[in-house]
Amino acid sequence: MKELKVTAIENGSVIDHIPTDNTFNVIGILKLDRHDDTILIATNLPSKKLGKKGIVKVSGRQLTKDEANKIALVAPDATINIIKDFEIVEKLKASLPKQLVNVSKCFNPNCITNRDSVVPKLCVESARPLRLRCEYCERSMTQKDIQLV
């Protein structure tokens, strides 16, 4: 029998294939630090595709397609399984939307979004390699410039 390194959940979401270094960024994007049900987090798990990967299991919350898409910012290969009564009822694939609203700050310190109370909006110019453009100051950002809101 296959050994489960993290316990199965009854109802909720399982986010798999997260690059291990970005596991906690997924927690940040989904604001799971404010979630009051069980969250199981595993990092440095062996992965053929990623080398090392992270998994996040969230009890009591079914992620939406929009939330799955936001995860693609830090985990472009992530898969999200929606669980009901220990069974997978839906599979979502993370896919970056055209626009990211209030997900990452603009990296330009002189951008109005970092100076006034403004919700940052980033346009996705390219998913791989990741290239985002601030809709206000027009600066382009890459993966290393991301600062989650």
Partner 1 sequence: MKGFKGRDIISISDFSKQEILHVLDTAKNFENYRNPSLLKDKMLATLFFEPSTRTRMSFEAAMHFLGGRVIGFSDARLTSISKGESLWDSIRIVEGYSDVIVMRHPFEGSARLAAEAANIPIINGGDGANQHPTQTFLDLFTIYKSKGTIDKLKVGFLGDLKYGRTVHSLARALSLFGAEMYFISPAELRMPSDDIEHLKKEGIVFHEVEDLIGTCPKLDVLYTTRIQKERFPDAADYEKVKGVYRVDNSMLKHVKPELKILHPLPRVDELSPEIDNSPHAVYFEQAANGVPVRAALLALVLGVAE
Residues in the chain: 149
Check if the beta carbon of residue 139 is closer than 8 Å to that of residue 106.
yes
- What is the nearest approach in angstroms of partner 1 to the Cβ of residue 146? 17
Q: Which of 28, 108, 123, 145 binds partner 1 (CB under 8 A)?
A: 108
Q: Which of 17, 103, 113, 122 binds partner 1 (CB under 8 A)?
A: 113
Residue 7 token pair = 């316990």
Closest Cα to residue 80, out of 64, 93, 99? Answer: 93
Closest Cα to residue 35, out of 67, 64, 57, 61? Answer: 61
Q: Using the minimum distance from each CB to partner 1, give the nearer residue, 61 or 139.
A: 139
Q: Which of 55, 58, 106, 132 binds partner 1 (CB under 8 A)?
A: 106
User: Residue 101 and residue 50: Cα distance in Å, rounded?
Assistant: 28
β-strand partners of 54: 18
Q: Does 79 bind partner 1 (CB under 8 A)?
A: no
Part in contact with partner 1 (CB under 8 A); list of ranges 53-61, 64-72, 96-104, 133-141: 133-141
Q: Which of 2, 34, 49, 115 binds partner 1 (CB under 8 A)?
A: 115
Residue ranges binding partner 1 (CB under 8 A): 106, 108, 110-113, 115-118, 134-140
